[in-house]
Amino acid sequence: MSQPLYATYQFEGSKGPSGISILLSDERFDLPAADWLRELHAATDQWSQQESDRFVRSDLGTGPGASCHRARIADYLFAGGGVNSGRLGRHLDMLQVQGQVHRFALRPGGRVDGLDLVGREDRLARLEVLLTNDSCHLRAPRRYGKTSLLRQLEKTLTAAGKIAIFVDVSGGESSPLFWVTLAQAAMDVPAARGPLLTLEELATWPPPEASAPDKGAAAEALEERIASNPASFGNRLLETLGQAAAVLLLDEFSVFLREAHQSQPEEARRLAEILARARTGSTPVRQVLAGSTGLTSFMKFRGLTESFADLVPLDLPPLSLSLARMLVEELLYGEELVPSPAVINAILETVGEPIPYFLHAVVNAVAEESPARALLEDPGLVARAYAERVLGPLGNGLFSDFRLRERPYPRELLPAAARLLREFSRTGAGLEIGVLRDFFASETLGISSLEGASLETLLACLQEDYDVAEENGLWRLRSKVLRDRWALREPWLTRGH
């Protein structure tokens, strides 16, 4: 049995390992090590020439280099056997800058953080700067990574010595429950707990190490105590947090506002006014109000615009194509699958607009369709996995957050929205406004008697929710994945209307 061969590439200036050692054998490939060596040398030479102070020393031996990161040749090959020089260079960057090679986790629908949160660095930096003087409306469609970004912002602000309070308010539908949810989250933040204990209602709040039932009982008691005058408690809670220079990260705020306004419109209006005063007072409480978009449309429909006029809007865009390609590569290799460039391109083309959620979903579908450690050379595999595991019944859960009944604009428009989106799904080229007017005016919509209904109103809602986009006079669905799903005409999107 021949001894294993390692190609070792070492450099200076690393925060961790001094380089990388690659084992030059894999039973899946019938290629001589010499072929790989030539390409590996060329890739590392190209990497070192990108900056003047980079130097890479190469060695070939029967063992890995001391203090080097260890890898296998399959980690840097395409399915046809050629070297993936881009991935090798990327990992050399990681070793030199981060001191380790990061493995991206495949999480279709799960929260991502740290290095997995790719393409959001500029938005994170923008939020940090913005929050020094303003508050923000973080706008993005469902599953664009708003919660992950807020959680990362929470970590960043906390590390900088600030009080950051993240709270998901989607579970509430009343003013008292909103304030209780906020108080409960704030009491779990050590730096906020001390100031808040001065409030009479929170003076006996259970300590951080208390059990979940004890904290739950305290929350129920607080909700009952403030039920008759929630505004009084809310004002004092925000005043105390303002004096402590706290930052509130309110996730899914548009969902809460819709539900609260439906049951108690005046209480919802008053709560919005209290939050607005807290943002602009003498000791302001900086706030990020996030959630699936639609908040702006809801404000206009319900006459609440004034309470949110001070918020600076910040949109969360899709990934760039280069970042999307990197993410797809890393996720596939992380599942011990070796892709071809054609398969990577097929995944990107299948997803269309590079939304991280759908990139994860399609890669996960491909991984579930593939044998362990497979070489992925056939782009047809992507089409099959997409049809069966994303668009098919197995993928129903992926689209649960996109149901129209979750939208915060008037429910009277939802049946019209469903029919219009299905019409959009018939074509990827887009529709002229005249065609849309004719369709909207047709009897099939059945909303001719709805006061205030207009095509412009509906398109404004759908555009803000990132369902549709207008380019060069043509309107189209933004997401290819959602277009494909709408084309199925299944009832999952409109059930309940």
Count Cα neighbours of 245 within 13 Å in the Cβ-side half-sphere.
8
DSSP notation for 119-150: T-HHHHHHHHHHTTT--EEEEE-TTSSHHHHH
Sequence-distant (≥ 6) Cβ neighbours of residue 346 within 8 angstroms: 379, 382, 383
* Residues in the chain where the model's pLDDT stays below 50: 1, 443, 448-452, 491-497
pTM for the structure as a whole: 0.86
Q: List, in sequence order, every beta strand (DSSP E) within 145-285.
A: 163-168, 246-251
- Alpha carbon 130 to chain centroid, angstroms: 20
CA distance to 43, 92, 185, 388, per residue, from 101 (Å)? 17, 8, 35, 33
CB-count burial class (<10 Å; 0-12, 13-18, 19+) for 57? middle
The Cα 274–Cα 281 span in angstroms is 10
Residues 6+ apart with CB under 8 A from 475: 424, 430, 431, 432, 433, 436, 459, 468, 469
Q: Does residue 200 sit in helix, strand or coil?
A: helix
Listed residue (382, 404, 274, 396) closest to 328, CA to CA: 382
Model pLDDT, residue 496: 42
Q: What is the rounded distance in angstroms from the CA atom of residue 73 to the CA atom of residue 7?
A: 9
Gap between the Cα atoms of 320 and 119, Å rounded: 8
Q: What is the pLDDT of residue 497?
A: 38
What SS3 state is found at 465?
A: coil
d(CA 142, CA 466): 9
Can you give the pLDDT at residue 450? Answer: 46
Please spell the DSSP secondary structure of 301-334, one letter per residue.
HHT-GGGGTTPEEEE-PPPPHHHHHHHHHHHHHH
Q: How far is it, in rounded angstroms, from Cα 333 to Cα 150?
A: 28
- pLDDT attached to residue 453: 57
Q: Residue 489 corresponds to which tokens in the numbers above?
A: 């005409």
Q: Are 419 and 413 in contact (CB under 8 A)?
A: no
DSSP letter (8 states) at residue 211:
-
Helices 230-243 and 265-280, interaxial angle, to 10°? Answer: 20
Q: What is the DSSP string of 377-410?
A: --THHHHHHIIIIISSGGGGGGGGGG-GGG-SS-
Residues in Cβ contact with 442 at an 8 Å cutoff, skipping those fewer than 6 apart: none
Residue 487, both tokens: 């084309």
| Rounded Cα–Cα distance for residues 325 and 329 (Å) | 6
Do the beta carbons of residue 203 and residue 286 sit within 8 Å?
no
Which amino acid type is present at position 412?
E
pLDDT of residue 386: 97
Evaluated on CA atoms 398, 399, 401, 402, the torsion sign reads positive
Contact 113, 151 (CB under 8 A): yes
Q: 3-state class of 166 per DSSP? A: strand
3-state secondary structure of 54: coil
* Residue where the block lists tokens 């690659």: 22
